[in-house]
Chains A and B, each alone.
Chain A
């Protein structure tokens, strides 16, 4: 009964704002992608040595990201996803 109430409240809390929260989250993620792949699009990044390590983890989102950023094709030559 208590668990059901908790579930009900959770839905009541989240349902109206799912879209807004997801969009806010995506904005943050996009900025993070830009930081990680900044050297690749020609922006010098002093932390490139460290962000390089993260790149393989983010490759699967790379295509969606560059499309969303208005670049129809992969912005780099050495990594082409499309």
Chain B
């Protein structure tokens, strides 16, 4: 079967979702009002609250939520065959992520643009807010560790990715300096920056770089993990305008270029899907598809992280309320499109079933990002005539840059949380920038190495990361449900996905717990138990909050 069928299925499902389901949500559930004055106008301050054009808002909302996860998740999950991954990505995007992202944006804009964390305290209660903070910290810790590990592994699998990845940091800093200190036109800076990036990809393909197999007792993956976290620590204390902002910008631009190139290549090459619809013979250590599929693919089907972005920055810039439909719903559709591209690359980018099975048949979880770069490069070579090694470097760098920008921001956020705890609990040492950064980076390194494999084999925590991400999504859906109950609106649109997420998350945690127990990995056992505890609390909190909200609504 041709992979174009996947493209057609994706386009049809996402279009139907947008034109029918999101319209239903906008009219019947959220009842968007063109006359409602959004916080971007009522609280306009030229800094956080600024009415922003719809297309710009969508662009940066999408590039903020798109990351390495919708590539890595599907890249691992196709081990069970392409059909389950395809179904979960399409159904998840249309009925889960769309409602979640759109709803978070709407609820926040109806509440002075407050973040979901603040809304949890206001709408549900302070206890739910505490659970929320714990889940966010665990999520950040896991995001940073997992992404560090993924980049380390990818640098080893595709050594040509090393030069472009690190040159981008330099390019970003030069861009930041040119714009802020020299006042240069962004258009020219963009053209030069993107040209240097693609030039560096070519140089990288010619000059691959490999670290020694052992240095000070550390294997190559471990060495990369240490280098990456030293970098992330430094990056997180540099001024935002110097690194984070230009880096995010280049990343956004190359996201659109890379995605467009890959889809054009798929349409021109029409590659054949070599993976089975259902894999009857997955690796012996692969966990059961239900419930693990639903936590392996988090971003790309539904991700709690989007709620943080939607309510944290996007809602403060919403010009008119009806824009929430395009920005929120289409933002998740963009993410679904990226996940779909990953499924295509990882199922149709291999020459034959034997090749595919050689990659996926070994052990679970397979390196999703490596499969994406390898499979995608073959499609690009056939469709666009790009040399295989250049295309592979380009796709590997695309995934790495996603992971790296998320890490930059993630370590910074972790530092903020630690500093805040320092203030709350009156521990002056924690409020300092350097100490809090050291603690943030140290905790990530501890998890990256504690998970096993000398810092390299730790993709094993990927499903755990997915679980905490889903849990955050469940919390946001809970807040939305309570808000809808208070407004006396139908709640099935949020209750069904919420119930599904909780029902899948808890067994997934128990199955993983058994695996960690068998491996006697106490660090992961503790992490798993913490998340399990938080999941059960979320479930109980949801039941009690719904009851309370219903009684209040009935009384009013």
Minimum CB distance partner of A26 in chain B: B47
Residue among A2, A9, A10, A17 making CB contact with B245, cutoff 8 Å:
A17
Contact B52 A5, beta carbon cutoff 8 Å: no
Residue among B185, B239, B246 making CB contact with A24, cutoff 8 Å:
B239
Contact A8 B47, beta carbon cutoff 8 Å: no
Q: Does B257 contact A (CB under 8 A)?
A: no
Contact A18 B48, beta carbon cutoff 8 Å: yes
Minimum CB distance partner of B55 in chain A: A8
Would you list 24 pairs from A and B whose C-beta atoms are within 8 A, ordered by A residue?
A: A5-B187, A6-B187, A9-B186, A9-B190, A11-B52, A11-B56, A12-B56, A12-B252, A13-B249, A15-B50, A15-B52, A15-B57, A16-B60, A16-B313, A17-B240, A17-B241, A17-B245, A17-B248, A18-B48, A19-B48, A20-B245, A21-B240, A24-B239, A24-B240
Question: In the complex, what residues of A have CB within 8 A of residue B244's CB?
Answer: 17, 20
Question: In the complex, what residues of A have CB within 8 A of residue B46's CB?
Answer: 18, 22
A11 vs chain B, min Cβ distance (A):
4
A4 vs chain B, min Cβ distance (A):
11
Minimum CB distance partner of A21 in chain B: B241
Contact A8 B240, beta carbon cutoff 8 Å: no
Residue among A2, A12, A13, A22 making CB contact with B47, cutoff 8 Å:
A22
Question: In the complex, what residues of B have CB within 8 A of residue A6's CB?
Answer: 185-187
- Report if A18-B47 is in contact (Cβ < 8 Å); known contacts: A12-B56, A13-B186, A13-B249: yes
Contact A19 B56, beta carbon cutoff 8 Å: no
Residue among B53, B185, B240 making CB contact with A11, cutoff 8 Å:
B53
Contact A16 B241, beta carbon cutoff 8 Å: no
Contact B186 A15, beta carbon cutoff 8 Å: no
Within 8 A of B (CB), among A7-53: 8-13, 15-24
Within 8 A of A (CB), among B56-96: 56-57, 59-60, 64
Q: Does B317 contact A (CB under 8 A)?
A: yes
Number of inter-chain CB pairs below 8 Å: 59
Q: Find the residue from A2, A16, A19 having the highest chain B CB count within 10 A.
A: A16
B249 vs chain A, min Cβ distance (A):
5
Contact-residue size bin, chain B (C-beta under 8 Å from the other chain): 20 to 34
Q: How far is the CA of A16 from the CA of B312 in the complex (A)?
A: 11
Write the residues of chain B forming the contact surface with A, with a CB cutoff of 8 angstroms.
Answer: 46-48, 50, 52-53, 55-57, 59-60, 64, 179, 185-187, 190, 239-241, 244-246, 248-249, 252, 313, 317
Contact A12 B59, beta carbon cutoff 8 Å: yes
A46 vs chain B, min Cβ distance (A):
27
Question: In the complex, what residues of B have CB within 8 A of residue A16's CB?
Answer: 60, 64, 245, 248, 313
Given pairs A10-B186, A15-B50, 19 additional interface contacts (CB within 8 A): A6-B185, A6-B186, A6-B187, A9-B187, A11-B56, A12-B252, A15-B57, A15-B60, A16-B64, A16-B245, A16-B313, A18-B46, A18-B48, A19-B48, A20-B244, A21-B240, A21-B245, A24-B240, A24-B241
Contact-residue size bin, chain A (C-beta under 8 Å from the other chain): 10 to 19
Question: In the complex, what residues of B have CB within 8 A of residue A5's CB?
Answer: 187
Question: In the complex, what residues of A have CB within 8 A of residue B55's CB?
Answer: 8
- Report if A15-B239 is in contact (Cβ < 8 Å); known contacts: A6-B187, A9-B187: no
Contact B53 A2, beta carbon cutoff 8 Å: no
B81 vs chain A, min Cβ distance (A):
38
B326 vs chain A, min Cβ distance (A):
16
Minimum CB distance partner of B248 in chain A: A16
Contact B185 A12, beta carbon cutoff 8 Å: no
Contact A12 B240, beta carbon cutoff 8 Å: no
Q: Find the residue from B185, B245, B317 having the highest chain A CB count within 10 A.
A: B245
B172 vs chain A, min Cβ distance (A):
12
Question: In the complex, what residues of B have CB within 8 A of residue A20's CB?
Answer: 240, 244-245
Question: In the complex, what residues of B have CB within 8 A of residue A2's CB?
Answer: 187
Question: In the complex, what residues of B have CB within 8 A of residue A19's CB?
Answer: 47-48, 313
Q: How far is the CA of A18 from the CA of B57 in the complex (A)?
A: 13
Question: In the complex, what residues of B have CB within 8 A of residue A15's CB?
Answer: 50, 52, 56-57, 60, 317
Q: How far is the CA of A18 from the CA of B179 in the complex (A)?
A: 14
Question: In the complex, what residues of B have CB within 8 A of residue A18's CB?
Answer: 46-48, 50
Minimum CB distance partner of B57 in chain A: A15
A51 vs chain B, min Cβ distance (A):
24
Question: In the complex, what residues of A have CB within 8 A of residue B248's CB?
Answer: 16-17
Question: In the complex, what residues of A have CB within 8 A of residue B56's CB?
Answer: 8, 11-12, 15
Question: In the complex, what residues of A have CB within 8 A of residue B185's CB?
Answer: 6
Question: In the complex, what residues of A have CB within 8 A of residue B241's CB?
Answer: 17, 21, 24
Q: How far is the CA of A18 from the CA of B55 in the complex (A)?
A: 17
Q: How far is the CA of A18 from the CA of B46 in the complex (A)?
A: 8
Minimum CB distance partner of B187 in chain A: A6
Question: In the complex, what residues of A have CB within 8 A of residue B50's CB?
Answer: 15, 18
CB-CB nearest 8 A-B residue pairs: A6-B187, A20-B240, A22-B47, A19-B48, A11-B56, A17-B245, A16-B60, A19-B47
Q: How far is the CA of A76 from the CA of B241 in the complex (A)?
A: 35
Question: In the complex, what residues of B have CB within 8 A of residue A22's CB?
Answer: 46-47
